[in-house]
Each structure stands twice: as C-alpha cells, then as structure tokens.
Amino acid sequence: MIIGTAGHIDHGKTSLIGRLTGRDTDRLPEEKRRGISIELGYAYLSVEGLRNSASKRLGFIDVPGHEKFVHAMLSGATGIDYALLVIAADDGPMPQTREHLDILRLLGVQQGAVVVTKIDRVDAAIGDQTITAIATMVAGQPAEHWPLFPVSSVTGEGISELLEHLRIKAFEFEHRSTEGMFRLAVDRAFTLQGLGTIVTGTAHSGVVRVGDTLSLMPSGVSARVRSIHSQDQPAQEGCIGERLALNLAGISVESVCRGEWLVGGGLNNTSLRFDAQLENSSHHNRIISQGLEIHLHHGSSDVIAKLYPLERDRMESGTSGLVHLQLAAPLALCKGDRFVIRDSQARLTLGGGSVLDIAPPARGRRSLGRLTTLQALRDLPPAAALTQMILTAPMSFEGLRHGWNLQENELGTLVTQTGAVVAGGVLFHPSRWLDYRDRILEAVDQTHVREPEMPGLELNRLRRVASPQLSQESYSELIEALAGQGLVIQRGVFVGRPSHKAELSIAEKNLWMSIAPLLNETPYNPPRVRDIASLVHIPETEIRANLRKVARVGEVTLVALDHFFLTPRVSEMAEIVLEIFQAHGTVRAADFRDRIGGGRKVAIQILEFFDRIGFTRRLRDEHLVRRSNPYAELAPEAQSA
C-alpha cells in the first residue's frame, strides 16, 4: 500500500512521516536550509500482521506543501492508495489544504485519513474550531468519511493510534487487480556505483519481473530489468500499488526523464490528443472556452495542452463534461487514467478528469455518434462501451490493446463479450459487418447484370465501390469470409457470384479447345472474334458466344470489343506494365507496345482495360499503377495513388 501526504506548507507532513517511519525525507541541503520540502520524499515501514501472517510494507510519499511545488505534489499523489491529509491544529484548513484535497479527489483517491497535527500547540477550544472548519471543508467529498486523528509529532501523542489504523488498513487493503501490462510512472533516475541505471516510480498497473524487457515511453527506448526493489526491499517482481526501484540494463541515466513511463508487453500508447471526461472545479469561477491553454498533469509529467469542450462551446465552473485535449508533447496514456489541469501560469488547479479515448477520430469529433460513444466509454462497463464504440466506427485490435492497456487474454474475453467480428485485425460491430457484406453482394450482382461477359468485379474496384473505408486486410478477410460461405467466388482477380457461371457443354468445350491454341500463338495480340471465325470457319456469333461463356469461367478475359485474351497472359502483361512503371514512374503506350509487340492501338486498348479494372489510372496520356491493385502481390512497393 502506498500512502501519500497532502496539505498546506509547514503543517507538519514531513515531521509526521518522520515520526511514523523514523526517516527524515527532507534530504536536500536547500530543504534543510529553508525548512520546507521541495522534492518528493520516500519512506517505508514494515507492519506486522495478526498472529502468524506475514508482515507488510507500507510505502510513504511525502509531498511539499508550498504553492510553488504543486506540480511535485501532483506527481507524488498519482497512484497512491491512501491519503493523509495533514492540517495543523493552530492554522486549520489553508489554501493548499483545499487545493491538495481537490487534487486527491480529481485523481480518484478514495481512501484516506485526516491528521490534525501540532495539537501540543493549541488548547481544546482552538482544536474544536479547527475540527469544525475541517468538517465544513470536506462536506460532500470522499474525505467526509475519512477518520480523523489528532497528533503531535513533537510529543508523540496520537501517533500510535494512527500507526495502528494504517496497519489495519494495510491488511484490509484489497490489492488492486494486476490486469493490463506493466506501467510505472517514472519520478527519479540515478546511477549507483556498480549497478548502473536505477529508475524509481509508482507502478500503476500490471506486474514486472526480473529479466523483463520494458520500454520507456514516449521515447520508445528499451531496457532489461536486472533487479527490483519493491517498497525498498529486494524482490523478484513488483506490481501495481508498489513503489519500485528498477535496475535497468541497456539504458543510460541521461535518457530517462521524470514524467516518462516504463511499460511492459510492448505497450505503445503515446498520443498527442485524447478525449476525456473533465470536471471544471467550482473554486475559481473559471470558464473553459474552446482552445483554452492549460497545464496537464498526468502521472509524473506536466505538459502544455489545449482544451476543447465537446458538448457545449464553454464549460462553466462547477460543471463536468466531455472534452478534447491537444498536447504540446506526446504522453503515454491509457483509458481510465486520471489527470489534473492547472491554469497556463501553473498557479491554480482548474479541474481534472479521466481519459476516455486516446485515439479520437480526426473528423466528426462533436458528432452525435461520437458523443454517444464517449458517453458510453464514460458510463458503461467495458464490453458495452466497446460495442457502442464499434457501432460508430470499426476499431483496430491493436488500438484497443494499447489504448485500454489489455493483455492478450483480457482482450480476447472483452472482444468475445461484444460479439464483434474480427477481420484483418479490426473489430466490427456485427451489424456494420453485415452492411459491408450487403454492399459488396449488391455491387457484384449489379455488375453481373451490367457486364454479363465479365466473371465479376475486379477485387480492388469492388473495394472502392462497396467499402472504401475498409482497410485492405479487413476487406480481404471479408471477401474470404464471403467466399467461405459460398456467397462469392474469386475468379482470378475478379469476384463474382458462384451462380454466375456457365457450364460448358461437351460441344462448347470442344470448340474452346480448338480456339485456345489460336489465342496462345500471339498471346499479347490474339486474333479477334471475327479473325477466329474466319480461321476456323465457324460463324462469328458462335465464336463470340463461346468466348463469352469461357470468360465467365475465367479462362479468357475480354480486354476490348470482341477481343478476348487468355487470362494468364493478361497477368503477364500486368507484370510488364508494372516493370515499366517501376523503371520510369509512369507507363506510356509506346513503351508498353515496345515490350509486347503489335500495334499501338492494341497497346492503348490494353492499358485502357487496366484503367477500367482498377490496376492503373490514367493521367493525361500516361498510366500510373494504383497502390492497391489486383496484382498487388506483384507490387508491394509500387508507388502511386
């Protein structure tokens, strides 16, 4: 359990920790000289369990109370389990008492105790006044239910009662779930002789073990865990709710900064913008308008950000709502993370909130669908929220894993609960998936009516027509799924309906067998229907009918009017086009003709065919290979639109 202090300057936080743990956490000469805390202080204490149960380690984080060091208090207070709100009996609640209390609430710290210090300095009447003032201050807040301990760090009065209370709390304390990948908010990095780089911080999720590889976020530098101190004692592993010191191999102390995160499991969750639920604190009467610049405190970091209320144009003080934030520097964020905002001069705590989505869409941020999604993310349990989210837009598996910090098995369970269709690493709402399916089938059916001699619609043209928003991978999986269900069939680079198929009779097959060698003789300029008719002495209409049927089977392709090519030869010509494109960055009819022989007119007709099926696109007199094209496996590197 990690216990953090909070409270106004000089109210006795450091003295209290000293009295509880025997350790003076003000280490800096400047702290000694000025008699105030500047940096965070850390101390630990073992407490014995009842009967034979093992002892537990309490970790204390002592924060400075000075108004100039609220940023330090903020980085110390994120991730604590239990707060000690320290108030001097002679002073009563002061500005930073209120501000720290506010911060604790905004960071979601639910548990704690109020400690009234310096009782040796006041008489009973003053003590009572202070207690009344405290009661007024905490009314309506989580702290309203916290126990109160009057103590003196000078005489020791009340200290043992407080200690006993913390001991009981430590054993009652429900260990937070170790779900998710390991995340530690870095607060210090230093070197130890003979050991190398040591990084300390509070673990916010998951478990880390000796030998694990962690990455530093947002920089992405990776390091191996050589050894672990958990709550100041050697350990094989460390987990959420513990103060950890990690000895890291493969990373220099200079490359680690306070405010960064050490994460496990390849978690990659940095973002420059996110959507959140925000509370605009009622204390300062500040209105949050579009684009308001603020300091954003998240974990142990502090970045400049701009705020954009989403539901209204302005957020009055004392209200809560959905907001979009744009950051001046990337942060490693996860859904559910708490943050606090302060004004641009870093003088006032304006409010705080929790992260809902670390990858908001570029457009339609304030659309009804989007707001409904954000409300679901805020109000509903994970599976229901995710279902709503993918109803508005498909979501990538990886985006979900990183944005929500989920381990593989957690991800699997969640996705199963939503009933989402997973294709190409993307989650689709089942009803959206059916929409895509219907659009594809409709486009294929229409093509069969319009162009009965074609085996179907070229793969990528179909994508552009029916489902342009789908990624290539998701689309391929969708086509595969439809093929698996017998709803479509792939014939070469064409997608058609299985029913759109001609059965060749014996006589038709025989005729085709006699035509095929003719087409193969001059493969890149085969005879047209009329030429074939005169070569084999069979009426033109019969030859045309035969080749149309063969085209439906996919063995020939109708490239131009009455001009059928053997399908494998068309693929070869596509390859030639691609070679020219890769060599020259463009394809001209003359170059293509030089490669395939024959006349210029035929070369142009073939290139026009490639334009039509979506392999190339025309730009004035030239042709460019499309990036996603039916022969894409030939051209993973092809550049073009």
Ligand X SMILES: Nc1nc2c(ncn2[C@@H]2O[C@H](COP(=O)(O)OP(=O)(O)OP(=O)(O)O)[C@@H](O)[C@H]2O)c(=O)[nH]1
Helical axes 472-484 vs 430-450, angle rounded to 10°: 80
CB of 165 to Mg ion, least distance (A): 21
**From the list ligand X, Mg ion, none, which binds 154 (C-beta under 5 to 8 Å, kind-based)?**
ligand X
Is residue 120 a contact residue for ligand X (CB under 6 A)? yes
Question: Using the rule CB under 6 A, which residue among 78, 153, 197, 231 binds ligand X?
Answer: 153
Return the residue matching tokens 């509070």: 202
Question: Using the rule CB under 6 A, which residue among 9, 163, 444, 570 binds ligand X?
Answer: 9
Is residue 12 a contact residue for ligand X (CB under 6 A)? yes
CB of 41 to ligand X, least distance (A): 8
**Of the two residues 87 and 310, which places its CB atom closer to Mg ion in the complex?**
87
Contacts with 616 (C-beta within 8 Å, 6 or more apart), sequence order: 577, 581, 587, 607, 610, 623, 624, 625, 626, 629
Stretch that binds Mg ion, among 5-13, 275-283, 486-494, 623-631 (CB under 5 A): 5-13
CB of 40 to ligand X, least distance (A): 10
Site string for Mg ion, 33-72 (x = CB under 5 A): ----x-----------------------------------
Question: Using the rule CB under 6 A, which residue among 105, 118, 295, 491 binds ligand X?
Answer: 118
Question: Using the rule CB under 6 A, which residue among 133, 154, 159, 502 binds ligand X?
Answer: 154
Two structure tokens written together for 29: 């000469």
CB of 98 to ligand X, least distance (A): 14
User: Rounded distance, CA 185 to CA 338, Å?
Assistant: 13
Question: Using the rule CB under 6 A, which residue among 1, 3, 14, 87 binds ligand X?
Answer: 14
Contact 151, 116 (CB under 8 A): yes
CB of 133 to ligand X, least distance (A): 18
Size of the site for Mg ion (CB under 5 A): 3
For β-strands 233-235 and 270-280, DSSP reports them as unpaired
CB of 154 to ligand X, least distance (A): 4
Two structure tokens written together for 20: 């509880």
Size of the site for ligand X (CB under 6 A): 19
Two structure tokens written together for 403: 């944005």
Contacts with 95 (C-beta within 8 Å, 6 or more apart), sequence order: 8, 67
**Of the two residues 102 and 555, which places its CB atom closer to ligand X in the complex?**
102
**Of the two residues 14 and 197, which places its CB atom closer to Mg ion in the complex?**
14
CB of 42 to Mg ion, least distance (A): 13
Q: Which of residues 205-244 bind ligand X (CB under 6 A)?
A: none
Q: Which of residues 10-39 bind Mg ion (CB under 5 A)?
A: 13-14, 37
For the chain, the residue count is 641
Is residue 158 a contact residue for ligand X (CB under 6 A)? no
Contact 180, 405 (CB under 8 A): yes
Contact 61, 241 (CB under 8 A): no
User: Rounded distance, CA 422 to CA 425, Å?
Assistant: 6
Sort 601 into a burial class: Cβ within 10 Å, 0-12 / 13-18 / 19+.
exposed
Two structure tokens written together for 391: 């109803």
Sort 400 into a burial class: Cβ within 10 Å, 0-12 / 13-18 / 19+.
buried
**From the list ligand X, Mg ion, none, which binds 153 (C-beta under 5 to 8 Å, kind-based)?**
ligand X
**Nearest residue to ligand X, using CB?**
65
CB of 59 to ligand X, least distance (A): 17
Q: From residue 450, how far is each of 468, 546, 550, 613 by CA, in Å?
A: 21, 19, 18, 14
User: Rounded distance, CA 46 to CA 65, Å?
Assistant: 26
User: Rounded distance, CA 541 to CA 70, Å?
Assistant: 89
CB of 105 to ligand X, least distance (A): 20
CA 99 to chain centre: 31
Question: Using the rule CB under 6 A, which residue among 20, 21, 37, 150 binds ligand X?
Answer: 37
CA 632 to chain centre: 29
**Of the two residues 154 and 393, which places its CB atom closer to ligand X in the complex?**
154
CB of 87 to ligand X, least distance (A): 10
**Of the two residues 17 and 276, which places its CB atom closer to ligand X in the complex?**
17
Stretch that binds ligand X, among 113-121, 230-238, 374-382, 441-449 (CB under 6 A): 113-121
Give the other-Cβ count within 10 Å of 628's Cβ.
17
Nearest CA to 592 out of 609, 583, 604, 582 is that of: 604
Stretch that binds ligand X, among 13-21, 124-132, 159-167, 175-183 (CB under 6 A): 13-21
User: Rounded distance, CA 184 to CA 16, Å?
Assistant: 27
CB of 195 to ligand X, least distance (A): 30
Site string for ligand X, 133-152 (x = CB under 6 A): -------------------x
Site string for ligand X, 41-80 (x = CB under 6 A): -----------------------xxx--------------
**Residue 421 backbone phi and psi in degrees, to 5:** -90, 130
**From the list ligand X, Mg ion, none, which binds 10 (C-beta under 5 to 8 Å, kind-based)?**
ligand X
How big is the CA angle at 478 (ends 477 and 481), to the nearest 5 degrees? 85
What is residue 301's DSSP assignment?
Answer: E
Return the residue matching tokens 């002679």: 90
**Of the two residues 94 and 454, which places its CB atom closer to ligand X in the complex?**
94
Give the other-Cβ count within 10 Å of 169's Cβ.
19
**From the list ligand X, Mg ion, none, which binds 569 (C-beta under 5 to 8 Å, kind-based)?**
none
Binding site for Mg ion (CB under 5 A): 13-14, 37
Binding site for ligand X (CB under 6 A): 9-15, 36-37, 64-66, 117-118, 120-121, 152-154
